[in-house]
């Protein structure tokens, strides 16, 4: 499996009062703590430790997801994708999406999107907009206004293929908000030739007790956790061609660590089995098949 760096974590540029207990746990800060970062509060750490008591592999599992995010983005860059929309981007860390993909195609553009004003404030401070990046406050559950904000910003050219990254975010969208429908609206706005990378937490391989501890730890957070099955996650790829998770495999979703893993045997362990992941391709629209009733073009009559 693609393991964590020697010292996981981020810049630690935001140094909250370590004793602060105010407010509910925050999902972006909880994830930061799982990754070994410093941008979190006691209330976030306590929520994570409650999960870790029944799921000791939580930290490596978070890294399995983050590593998939980076591998998928880099893989897309190798397919020629030079602009990305990273929705539910989370708190900035040592290597952010643009820093990963610009190693493949310099000047690749990345729009960072999150619905949490705290995340956006910190991202704006630490990732000041350059000509290649922007940071946008928008909610996945309102795709029309998310797309309108991106269009207004102008960084992303919707006529060009795009890499859409939605990793570890749909699990915070409840069924009533129609996560599949919201995602479909976003995909509809992308040019053919675009790719979508998606990861989603699942309880398919953990005990009911561990699943209850996971969802329970998010009960006080602003966004609750919704664990979904393999079949649920496959539905998110409707209308897309799934990319095989490795050379020679059939197209399908896989455990996080297995997707284009350097060492598939090592990657298939429990750490990566908290996530279903996949990459989908938006194929070119096929030409409509003529039923023979279409009128000839005016200039040919
Ligand atoms: C666990 S972090 C994932 C960070 C990053 N995508 C990754 O996989 O490494 C989830 C992020 O999704 C954001 N988020 C949750 N619901 C969202 C929504 N409806 N719209 C936009 N962002 C959302 C949270 O604020 C948080 O920053």
Determine whether the shortest distance from the Cβ of 277 to ligand 1 is under 6 A.
Answer: no
Number of domains in the chain: 1
Determine whether the shortest distance from the Cβ of 64 to ligand 1 is under 6 A.
Answer: no
pLDDT band at 268 (very low <50, low <70, confident <90, very high): low
The pLDDT mean for the chain works out to: 88
pLDDT of residue 5: 34
Mean pLDDT of 192-200: 98
Domain containing residue 183: 27-281
In terms of pLDDT, which residue wins out, 297 or 175? 175
Answer whether residue 259 shows pLDDT above 70: yes
In terms of pLDDT, which residue wins out, 199 or 3? 199
Give the lowest-confidence range in 89-98, 141-150, 268-277, 291-300. 291-300
Determine whether the shortest distance from the Cβ of 27 to ligand 1 is under 6 A.
Answer: yes
Kindly state whether residue 76 falls inside one of the protein's structural domains: yes
Determine whether the shortest distance from the Cβ of 178 to ligand 1 is under 6 A.
Answer: no
Kindly state whether residue 293 falls inside one of the protein's structural domains: no
pLDDT of residue 287: 55
| Angle between the N-to-C axes of helices 58-78 and 42-54, in degrees from 0 to 180, rounded to the nearest 10 | 100
CA of 171 to the centre of ligand 1 (A): 9
Kindly state whether residue 69 falls inside one of the protein's structural domains: yes
pLDDT of residue 94: 85
CA of 170 to the centre of ligand 1 (A): 8
How many Å apart are CA 263 and CA 64, to the nearest integer?
A: 13
Kindly state whether residue 240 falls inside one of the protein's structural domains: yes
pLDDT of residue 237: 98
Answer whether residue 271 shows pLDDT above 50: yes
Kindly state whether residue 12 falls inside one of the protein's structural domains: no
CATH code where residue 234 lies: 3.40.50.150
Closest ligand 1 atom to Cα of 66: 9
Kindly state whether residue 8 falls inside one of the protein's structural domains: no
Percent of the chain exceeding pLDDT 70 equals: 85
How many Å apart are CA 206 and CA 245, to the nearest integer?
A: 22
pLDDT band at 81 (very low <50, low <70, confident <90, very high): very high
In terms of pLDDT, which residue wins out, 21 or 142? 142
Answer whether residue 31 shows pLDDT above 50: yes
Kindly state whether residue 234 falls inside one of the protein's structural domains: yes
Identify which of 14, 84, 114 to mutate to test ligand 1's pocket (most ligand atoms within 8 A of the CB). Answer: 114
Kindly state whether residue 22 falls inside one of the protein's structural domains: no
pLDDT of residue 265: 67
Mean pLDDT of 183-211: 96
What's the per-residue H, E or C state across the chain?
Answer: CCCCCCCCCCCCCCCCCCCCCCCCCCHHHHHHHHCCCCCCCHHHHHHHHHHHHHCCCHHHHHHHHHHHHHHHHHHHHHCCCCEEEEECCCCCCCCCHHHHHCCCCCCCEEEEEECCHHHHHHHHHHCCCCCCEEEEECCCCCHHHHHHHHHHHCCCCCCCCCEEEEECCHHHCCHHHCHHHHHHHHHHCCCCCCEEEEEEECCCCCCHHHHHHHHHHCCCCCCCCCCCCHHHHHHCCCCCEECCCCCCCCCCCEEHHHCCCCCHHHHCCHHHCCEEEEEEECCCCCCCCCCCCCCCCHHHC
CA of 87 to the centre of ligand 1 (A): 7
Answer whether residue 56 shows pLDDT above 60: yes
> What pTM value is reported for the model?
0.89
């Amino acid at each position: 499996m693609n393991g964590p760096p020697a010292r996981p974590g981020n810049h630690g540029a935001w140094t909250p009062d370590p004793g602060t207990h105010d407010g509910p746990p925050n999902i972006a800060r909880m994830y930061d703590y799982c990754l070994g970062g410093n941008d979190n509060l006691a209330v976030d750490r306590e929520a994570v430790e409650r999960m870790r008591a029944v799921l000791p592999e939580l930290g490596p599992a978070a890294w399995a997801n983050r590593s998939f995010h980076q591998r998928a983005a880099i893989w897309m860059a190798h397919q020629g994708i030079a602009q990305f929309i990273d929705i539910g981007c989370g708190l900035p860390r040592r290597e952010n999406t643009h820093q990963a993909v610009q190693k493949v195609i310099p000047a690749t553009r990345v729009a960072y999107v999150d619905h949490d004003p705290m995340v956006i404030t910190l991202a704006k401070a630490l990732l000041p907009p350059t000509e290649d990046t922007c940071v946008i406050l928008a909610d996945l559950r309102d795709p029309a206004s998310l797309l309108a904000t991106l269009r207004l910003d102008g960084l992303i050219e919707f006529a060009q293929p795009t890499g859409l990254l939605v990793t570890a975010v749909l699990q915070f969208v409840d069924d009533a908000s129609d996560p599949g429908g919201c995602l479909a609206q976003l995909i509809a706005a992308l040019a053919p030739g675009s790719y979508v990378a998606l990861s989603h937490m699942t309880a398919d391989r953990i005990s009911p007790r561990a699943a209850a501890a996971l969802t329970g730890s998010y009960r006080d957070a602003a966004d609750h956790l919704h664990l979904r099955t393999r079949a649920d996650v496959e539905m998110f790829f409707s209308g897309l061609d799934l990319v095989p998770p490795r050379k020679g495999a059939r197209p399908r979703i896989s455990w996080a660590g297995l997707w284009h893993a350097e060492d598939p045997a090592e990657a298939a362990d429990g750490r990566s089995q908290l996530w279903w992941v996949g990459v989908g391709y938006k194929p070119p629209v096929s030409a409509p098949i003529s039923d023979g009733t279409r009128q000839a073009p005016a200039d040919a009559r």
